[in-house]
Protein backbone atom coordinates (compact mmCIF):
# COMPACT_ATOMS: atom_id res chain seq x y z
CA UNK A 1 0.00 0.00 0.00
CA UNK A 2 2.82 2.34 0.95
CA UNK A 3 4.49 1.65 -2.41
CA UNK A 4 1.33 2.51 -4.29
CA UNK A 5 1.03 5.80 -2.41
CA UNK A 6 4.70 6.51 -3.04
CA UNK A 7 4.42 5.83 -6.78
CA UNK A 8 1.21 7.85 -7.00
CA UNK A 9 2.90 10.80 -5.32
CA UNK A 10 5.85 10.78 -7.70
CA UNK A 11 3.56 10.32 -10.67
CA UNK A 12 1.62 13.37 -9.55
CA UNK A 13 4.85 15.37 -9.20
CA UNK A 14 5.99 14.34 -12.68
CA UNK A 15 2.62 15.30 -14.18
CA UNK A 16 2.71 18.71 -12.47
CA UNK A 17 6.27 19.35 -13.67
CA UNK A 18 5.34 18.29 -17.20
CA UNK A 19 2.28 20.52 -17.34
CA UNK A 20 4.21 23.48 -15.92
CA UNK A 21 7.01 23.01 -18.45
CA UNK A 22 4.50 22.76 -21.31
CA UNK A 23 2.76 25.99 -20.19
CA UNK A 24 6.14 27.75 -20.01
CA UNK A 25 6.97 26.72 -23.58
CA UNK A 26 3.56 27.85 -24.84
CA UNK A 27 3.97 31.23 -23.14
CA UNK A 28 7.36 31.75 -24.78
CA UNK A 29 5.94 30.85 -28.18
CA UNK A 30 3.06 33.30 -27.66
CA UNK A 31 5.48 36.08 -26.70
CA UNK A 32 7.63 35.35 -29.72
CA UNK A 33 4.64 35.46 -32.05
CA UNK A 34 3.46 38.70 -30.48
CA UNK A 35 6.88 40.29 -30.92
CA UNK A 36 6.94 39.32 -34.59
CA UNK A 37 3.49 40.79 -35.16
CA UNK A 38 4.44 44.09 -33.52
CA UNK A 39 7.69 44.51 -35.45
CA UNK A 40 6.49 43.39 -38.85
CA UNK A 41 4.52 46.56 -39.80
CA UNK A 42 7.60 48.70 -39.19
CA UNK A 43 9.75 46.40 -41.30
CA UNK A 44 7.21 46.36 -44.14
CA UNK A 45 6.80 50.11 -44.00
CA UNK A 46 10.54 50.61 -44.21
CA UNK A 47 10.92 48.19 -47.09
CA UNK A 48 8.05 49.72 -49.05
CA UNK A 49 8.97 53.36 -48.36
CA UNK A 50 10.49 54.60 -51.63
CA UNK A 51 10.18 58.32 -50.89
CA UNK A 52 13.49 60.14 -51.33
CA UNK A 53 13.97 63.40 -49.47
CA UNK A 54 15.82 66.04 -51.46
CA UNK A 55 16.90 69.31 -49.84
CA UNK A 56 17.53 72.25 -52.18
CA UNK A 57 19.62 75.00 -50.62
CA UNK A 58 19.53 78.44 -52.31
CA UNK A 59 22.87 79.96 -51.36
CA UNK A 60 23.14 83.13 -49.23
CA UNK A 61 20.10 85.31 -48.41
CA UNK A 62 19.05 88.23 -46.26
CA UNK A 63 21.96 90.41 -45.16
CA UNK A 64 24.28 88.05 -47.05
CA UNK A 65 23.87 88.86 -50.76
CA UNK A 66 26.66 86.55 -51.92
CA UNK A 67 28.36 87.47 -55.18
CA UNK A 68 27.49 90.83 -56.71
CA UNK A 69 27.16 90.68 -60.48
CA UNK A 70 28.64 92.96 -63.10
CA UNK A 71 25.39 94.93 -63.30
CA UNK A 72 24.75 94.85 -59.55
CA UNK A 73 22.63 91.69 -59.40
CA UNK A 74 22.76 89.59 -56.23
CA UNK A 75 23.67 85.94 -56.05
CA UNK A 76 21.02 85.40 -53.35
CA UNK A 77 18.30 86.37 -55.85
CA UNK A 78 19.67 84.18 -58.61
CA UNK A 79 19.98 81.13 -56.36
CA UNK A 80 16.45 81.51 -55.00
CA UNK A 81 14.87 81.95 -58.44
CA UNK A 82 16.72 78.95 -59.83
CA UNK A 83 15.98 76.82 -56.77
CA UNK A 84 12.25 77.47 -57.05
CA UNK A 85 12.29 76.34 -60.68
CA UNK A 86 14.24 73.24 -59.69
CA UNK A 87 11.85 72.38 -56.87
CA UNK A 88 8.85 72.77 -59.20
CA UNK A 89 10.35 70.18 -61.54
CA UNK A 90 11.41 67.75 -58.83
CA UNK A 91 7.96 67.84 -57.24
CA UNK A 92 6.53 66.26 -60.40
CA UNK A 93 8.09 62.99 -59.24
CA UNK A 94 5.79 61.34 -56.67
CA UNK A 95 8.74 59.44 -55.23
CA UNK A 96 10.53 62.64 -54.24
CA UNK A 97 9.84 64.81 -51.22
CA UNK A 98 11.49 68.17 -51.89
CA UNK A 99 12.25 70.82 -49.28
CA UNK A 100 14.11 74.14 -49.34
CA UNK A 101 16.40 75.57 -46.68
CA UNK A 102 14.86 78.98 -47.42
CA UNK A 103 11.87 79.99 -49.51
CA UNK A 104 12.36 83.75 -49.22
CA UNK A 105 15.04 86.37 -48.72
CA UNK A 106 16.14 85.20 -45.30
CA UNK A 107 19.54 84.91 -43.66
CA UNK A 108 20.74 81.49 -42.52
CA UNK A 109 23.66 81.44 -40.12
CA UNK A 110 26.75 79.56 -41.23
CA UNK A 111 28.07 79.74 -37.68
CA UNK A 112 24.99 77.90 -36.42
CA UNK A 113 25.22 75.49 -39.36
CA UNK A 114 21.54 76.05 -40.12
CA UNK A 115 21.69 74.67 -43.67
CA UNK A 116 23.28 71.26 -42.99
CA UNK A 117 21.37 70.93 -39.72
CA UNK A 118 18.11 71.46 -41.60
CA UNK A 119 18.92 68.54 -43.90
CA UNK A 120 20.27 66.33 -41.11
CA UNK A 121 17.21 66.88 -38.91
CA UNK A 122 14.99 65.81 -41.81
CA UNK A 123 17.15 62.73 -42.39
CA UNK A 124 17.34 63.80 -46.04
CA UNK A 125 18.75 61.57 -48.78
CA UNK A 126 20.26 64.26 -51.03
CA UNK A 127 21.43 67.84 -50.50
CA UNK A 128 22.02 70.37 -53.28
CA UNK A 129 23.42 73.82 -52.58
CA UNK A 130 22.87 76.28 -55.45
CA UNK A 131 25.38 79.10 -56.04
CA UNK A 132 26.82 81.57 -58.54
CA UNK A 133 30.50 82.38 -58.70
CA UNK A 134 32.56 85.56 -58.52
CA UNK A 135 36.07 86.63 -59.52
CA UNK A 136 38.05 89.84 -59.83
CA UNK A 137 38.70 89.22 -63.54
CA UNK A 138 35.39 89.77 -65.39
CA UNK A 139 36.51 87.57 -68.28
CA UNK A 140 36.54 84.42 -66.13
CA UNK A 141 33.70 82.05 -66.98
CA UNK A 142 32.70 78.49 -66.23
CA UNK A 143 30.68 75.94 -64.31
CA UNK A 144 32.08 73.85 -61.47
CA UNK A 145 30.72 71.39 -58.94
CA UNK A 146 31.99 70.58 -55.46
CA UNK A 147 31.70 67.62 -53.10
CA UNK A 148 33.39 66.57 -49.86
CA UNK A 149 32.78 62.89 -49.04
CA UNK A 150 33.59 60.20 -51.59
CA UNK A 151 30.02 58.93 -51.42
CA UNK A 152 28.97 62.34 -52.81
CA UNK A 153 31.25 62.20 -55.85
CA UNK A 154 28.95 60.07 -58.07
CA UNK A 155 26.16 62.60 -57.49
CA UNK A 156 28.53 65.47 -58.27
CA UNK A 157 29.87 63.82 -61.44
CA UNK A 158 26.40 63.02 -62.77
CA UNK A 159 24.83 66.42 -62.15
CA UNK A 160 27.91 68.27 -63.41
CA UNK A 161 27.79 66.44 -66.72
CA UNK A 162 24.25 67.64 -67.37
CA UNK A 163 24.95 71.09 -65.98
CA UNK A 164 27.88 71.84 -68.28
CA UNK A 165 25.81 70.88 -71.32
CA UNK A 166 23.00 73.18 -70.22
CA UNK A 167 25.08 76.27 -69.40
CA UNK A 168 27.46 76.06 -72.32
CA UNK A 169 30.12 77.61 -70.10
CA UNK A 170 33.70 76.41 -69.62
CA UNK A 171 33.91 73.09 -67.80
CA UNK A 172 35.83 73.90 -64.62
CA UNK A 173 35.42 70.37 -63.36
CA UNK A 174 34.30 68.48 -60.27
CA UNK A 175 36.37 69.29 -57.19
CA UNK A 176 36.64 68.22 -53.58
CA UNK A 177 36.31 70.96 -50.98
CA UNK A 178 35.50 71.08 -47.26
CA UNK A 179 32.72 73.67 -47.46
CA UNK A 180 30.65 73.33 -44.30
CA UNK A 181 27.40 72.67 -46.21
CA UNK A 182 29.12 69.62 -47.70
CA UNK A 183 31.25 68.54 -44.76
CA UNK A 184 28.55 68.76 -42.11
CA UNK A 185 25.75 67.01 -43.99
CA UNK A 186 25.08 63.31 -43.34
CA UNK A 187 23.93 62.47 -46.87
CA UNK A 188 25.36 62.80 -50.42
CA UNK A 189 25.76 66.55 -50.92
CA UNK A 190 26.95 68.79 -53.73
CA UNK A 191 27.52 72.51 -54.21
CA UNK A 192 26.83 73.78 -57.72
CA UNK A 193 28.54 76.94 -58.98
CA UNK A 194 26.41 77.56 -62.06
CA UNK A 195 28.42 80.41 -63.54
CA UNK A 196 30.16 83.72 -62.85
CA UNK A 197 27.93 86.71 -62.16
CA UNK A 198 31.00 88.91 -62.44
CA UNK A 199 31.24 88.01 -66.15
CA UNK A 200 28.90 90.54 -67.87
CA UNK A 201 27.86 88.17 -70.68
CA UNK A 202 27.31 85.24 -68.35
CA UNK A 203 25.41 87.36 -65.83
CA UNK A 204 23.01 88.64 -68.46
CA UNK A 205 22.28 85.07 -69.51
CA UNK A 206 22.06 83.69 -65.97
CA UNK A 207 19.41 86.16 -64.86
CA UNK A 208 16.93 85.07 -67.55
CA UNK A 209 14.07 82.64 -66.90
CA UNK A 210 14.94 80.67 -70.03
CA UNK A 211 18.48 79.97 -68.84
CA UNK A 212 17.40 79.15 -65.29
CA UNK A 213 14.72 76.75 -66.53
CA UNK A 214 17.27 74.99 -68.71
CA UNK A 215 19.65 74.65 -65.77
CA UNK A 216 16.86 73.40 -63.50
CA UNK A 217 15.98 70.73 -66.07
CA UNK A 218 19.64 69.70 -66.32
CA UNK A 219 19.97 69.31 -62.55
CA UNK A 220 16.73 67.31 -62.49
CA UNK A 221 18.06 65.04 -65.24
CA UNK A 222 21.26 64.57 -63.26
CA UNK A 223 19.38 63.64 -60.09
CA UNK A 224 17.18 61.18 -61.98
CA UNK A 225 20.18 59.53 -63.63
CA UNK A 226 21.95 59.27 -60.29
CA UNK A 227 18.91 57.70 -58.60
CA UNK A 228 18.27 55.31 -61.49
CA UNK A 229 21.89 54.23 -61.51
Q: Is 177 a catalytic residue?
A: no
End-to-end CA distance of the chain: 85
Residues 6+ apart with CB under 8 A from 119: 55, 57, 101, 127, 185, 186, 187, 189
Residues 6+ apart with CB under 8 A from 98: 53, 54, 55, 56, 87, 90, 91
If you write DSSP's letter for every residue of 76-90 in order, what string do you get? Answer: HHHHHHHHHHHHHHH
- Options 111, 193, 203, 225, the catalytic residue: 193
Question: Taking Cα atoms as reference points, which of 144, 131, 16 lies closest to residue 82?
Answer: 131
| Residues with catalytic roles | 193
Amino acid sequence: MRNIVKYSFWLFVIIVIFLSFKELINNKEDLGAKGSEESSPQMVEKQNDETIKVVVDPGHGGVDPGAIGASGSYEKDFTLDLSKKLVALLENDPNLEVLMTREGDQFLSSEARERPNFANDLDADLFLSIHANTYSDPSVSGTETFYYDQNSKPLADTIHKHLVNATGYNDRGVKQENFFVLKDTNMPAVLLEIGYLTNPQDEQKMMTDVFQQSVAEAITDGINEYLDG
